[in-house]
Amino acid sequence: MSEHFKNYYPSTDSRIGYALYVPGLDIFLIIDYSNLYVMDQLAKVLSSKILTAIIILSYNKKIPNINNENCHLFSLFHTKFFYGALSVADYNYSPAVVTLQDTKIIKKNNNFNKGEKNIIKRTQEYAIFCLQCLHAINLSQVLHQQVLTEQQEKLYATVFLKKEYKNLELTPIQEIMYILYHAQTTKEATEQIKLFWKKHLKNADNKTYWQDVFKQKIKNFIKEFYVLSKIEIPNDLSL
Amino acid sequence: MTYPYNFYYHNIQYNALTNQFWEKAKTVAAPGGQFMLGLAKLEANRYINRSHGEWSYPWKVSLLEKYIMPKYDSTFKKNFSEITDARAIEVKNEIKKNNTKFIIGFSGGLDSTLILTALLKHCSKKELKNLTVLANTVSFAENPYFYKKYIENKLTVVDSNTLLENYINTTDKIIQTWNAECLVGSRNWLDLVSNFYGYIKDLPPTTRSYLQNIWKKSITNEVHYSKFKDLIISQYSVHGDKRIGELYYYKMDKNIKSSGVPIYSLYDFHWWNLFNIKFINLSLKSFVFDSYNITYDQYEKKNFDWFLTNDYQQWSMTNNNNGEKVQSLTSTTMKMCFKKYIYEFDKNDWYFYFKTKVASYEIFKNRDKTNSQGRPDPRINFGINKDFNNLNFENLSLNDKNLQNYILNAMGSYNIDW
């Protein structure tokens, strides 16, 4: 977790945690203490590769000390009383979000083979990368939303006026989700993100007025994203 | 006893539309009828025995000949890939010879991905022009990599909300896959794998510890399923009532012992539930769900049942406990033979290692009344009679008092005979 996030979220030692549980493997993949909505985005983004559910952990229940280094060693005692939500035959790509209810978290001896262990590790690394990116884009977009004039207009027209709106362009948050959903590696995702920002910067050239001002504001937005996500700023973006 | 009705398919399912009728049946049911209704609280009771093993029903059930289980052949040696390749070549030859057009519903799951993989492997670009893929966003979401790489802009894709009966006046064949599940037996097994500790938690400590010790051998030929009897009873108990679980165990045990098919491990026991008593239900699913306005004859002419071959069934009977179907006690290693076949083609290791079953009805969820032409929810279907009429609860409650009375009487006189 980027140390910068503590400037934006209420508390980093929260007693509520959000753990991404993999029903198919009966392990936890990643845990986050900041934001349920970002966790939901993460589960959706990862659904192209692995199906997960979000377990809301309330630490007034007896819960072991679980973090991103050790969470893959923990399992749910059972999933019986989640009924449809975590039932193997009923879950799907849109993640179930549940509290622990009648089960508990236990340490289990999983006998994964070498291939499984490798891909679990790779997936966890990818999940951590995605989580960083998603926190970063959510925060940077809200901090710099005034530069997204078309998006603002679209929001007000479609939501508050309930008008049809032709511009189907995705928001930066959605664009980053799209990239993370389709990329196969962090390297590929990083490259795609760079290309997206390049395109975004180029859009500023279409502005009739205050082109330079827009461009600088977009650069600030992009810089914020890179700082928060801890991805090195690519030289060719010329920020 | 005379049987004025004779069913090819029956369905005891509790839901908002049928609760009232089944609650009424419960007040008159004899012990055997109570068992039928009790089991339906766990899952829709559509069990039909297609093996040579002993079984009984409250009413007359007939088997369509094509669904009768082939006699077990211990010398059968073909492997899963060979059989799948051969099936694809059959389709290819049919396209070449008769220019037949094929339609396949692609859910993104292992069954339809396997078939598309086989067709992509064996059919030329020209031959693939005869293939229409029914898909929607759910299909994409379940297997985005495959959809983007092999389907989008490459094959003809039609929204899967389209009803199959729209194709009834064409010469197209519809490839159906619903019974794939039966070859490798997954749903109730997956439930057990996820909830093993939940099912044993209320058992006596000595039984619990014994089951924990042998659990890892549940997918091997080392421990017979009878050693897991307490676990099976717990899994099939209804709201803590062990009686339903016990009756289920003994009914299945009697059927297995008289079936002439080798069934040994706990996994085999669960596989048999699908391979034997759910096979017909799943094979007829597309008729029940998608063929409201067409006759069974019309449906049959269109139906290309991919997995309903002697080879696939023999393969299924001769390949238990060898890692082909399930490799470990996680749900990601189910249907390994399907995964291996697909992986050799697409090399997508996320799908290979992590793909798990998702709800198979997802593809229907977005179907609304407009594109369903006002048909009733298929869950109200009670059965298919010998004239191949769908007997649904609308008819049952409004028009056919005789059938209602027949079911109630049958439930009232059905005793435990196992």
- Residue A65 tokens read as 């000390």
- CA–CA separation, A57 vs A59, rounded Å? 6
Looking at chain A from residue 181 to 220, which residues have their Cβ under 8 Å from any Cβ of chain B? 181-182, 184
pLDDT class for B94, splitting at 50, 70, 90?
Answer: very high
Can you tell me the mean pLDDT for B98-111?
A: 92
Mean of per-residue pLDDT scores for chain B = 88
A105: confidence class by pLDDT, cuts 50, 70, 90: confident
Report yes or no: B141 at the A interface, CB cutoff 8 Å: yes
pLDDT tens, position by position, B193-216: 888 988 998 999 999 999 999 999
pLDDT tens profile B152-182: 999 999 887 766 666 666 778 989 898 999 9
Residue B61 has pLDDT above 60, yes or no: yes
Of A101-110, B13-22, B116-125, minimum mean pLDDT range: A101-110
Instruction: Name the range with the highest mean pLDDT among A227-236, B298-307, B363-372.
Output: A227-236
pLDDT in the model for residue B398: 39
pLDDT for residue B195: 86
Most confident stretch, A159-173, B242-256, B403-417:
B242-256
- Predicted confidence at residue A134, as pLDDT, reads 98
Per the rule left: phi > 0, alpha: psi between -120 and 50, beta: everything else, B4 is: alpha
- From A192's Cα to the closest Cα of chain B, the distance in A is 17
pLDDT single digits (tens) A119-146: 999 999 999 999 999 999 999 999 999 8
B317 band by pLDDT with thresholds 50, 70 and 90: very high
Is the CB of residue B181 less than 8 Å away from at least one CB of chain A? Answer: no
pLDDT tens string A145-175: 988 888 888 888 889 988 888 777 899 999 9
Q: What pLDDT is recorded for position B354?
A: 93
Per-residue confidence (pLDDT) for residue B156, from 0 to 100: 94
Does B362 have pLDDT greater than 60?
no
Provide mean pLDDT across the span B21-25. Answer: 91
Average pLDDT over residues A105-119: 86
Q: Is the pLDDT of residue B364 over 80?
A: no
* Any B CB within 8 A of A86 CB: yes
Quick check: A80 contacting B, CB < 8 Å?
yes
Look at residue A153 in the predicted model and tell me its pLDDT: 86
Lowest mean pLDDT among A14-28, A29-43, B228-242: A14-28
Residue B352: what pLDDT?
96
Put simply, the answer to whether B187 touches A89 (Cβ < 8 Å) is yes
First to last CA, chain B: 19
Quick one: pLDDT band at residue B363, thresholds 50, 70, 90?
low
Decide if A24 and B358 are in contact by the 8 Å CB cutoff: no
Radius of gyration of chain A (CA): 20
The answer to whether B353 contacts A115, with C-beta atoms less than 8 Å apart, is yes
Residues B230-243 have pLDDT tens digits of 999 999 998 888 99
CA distance A13 to chain B (A): 31
Q: How confident is the model at residue B102 (pLDDT cuts 50, 70, 90)?
A: very high
- Tell me the per-residue pLDDT of B288-299, one tens digit each, with 9 for 90 and over: 776 666 777 888
Looking at the predicted structure, is the pLDDT value of residue B120 above 80?
A: yes
pLDDT of residue B136 exceeding 90: no
Which residues from B are below 8 Å from A81, CB to CB? 198
Q: Residue B80 above 90 pLDDT?
A: yes
Report the pLDDT value the prediction gives residue B249, as an integer from 0 to 100: 98
Provide the pLDDT for residue A19.
93
* Range of weakest confidence among A185-189, B124-128, B349-353, B368-372: B368-372
A108: chain B residues, CB-CB within 8 Å: none
Chain B residues whose CB is inside 8 A of the A22 CB are 354
| ipTM, two decimals | 0.87
Higher pLDDT, B386 or B338: B338
| Residue B106 pLDDT greater than 80, yes or no | yes
Kindly indicate the confidence band of residue A5, based on its pLDDT and cuts at 50, 70 and 90: confident
The C-alpha of B202 sits at a distance from chain A's nearest C-alpha, in angstroms, of 13
Residue B271, pLDDT > 60, answer: yes
Residues B265-288, mean pLDDT to the nearest whole number: 92
Which is higher by pLDDT, B247 or A166?
Answer: B247
Residues of B in contact with A77 (CB under 8 A): 197-198
Nearest CA in chain B to A84: B359
For residue A205, the model assigns a pLDDT of 82
Predicted local distance difference test score (pLDDT) of residue B186:
78
The Cα of B41 is separated from the nearest Cα of chain A by a number of Å equal to 13
Closest Cα in chain A to B356: A24
The model's pLDDT over A201-225, given as tens digits with 9 standing for 90+, comes to 988 888 888 888 889 999 999 999 9
Residue to substitute from A21, A93, A112, A113, interface B, most B β-carbons within 10 A: A93
Three-state DSSP state, A57: strand
Beta-ladder partners of A17: A57
CB contact under 8 A, A90 and B359: yes
Contact: A25, B330; criterion CB under 8 Å: yes
Window 1-60 of A, Cβ < 8 Å to B = 22-26, 47-51
pTM of the model: 0.90
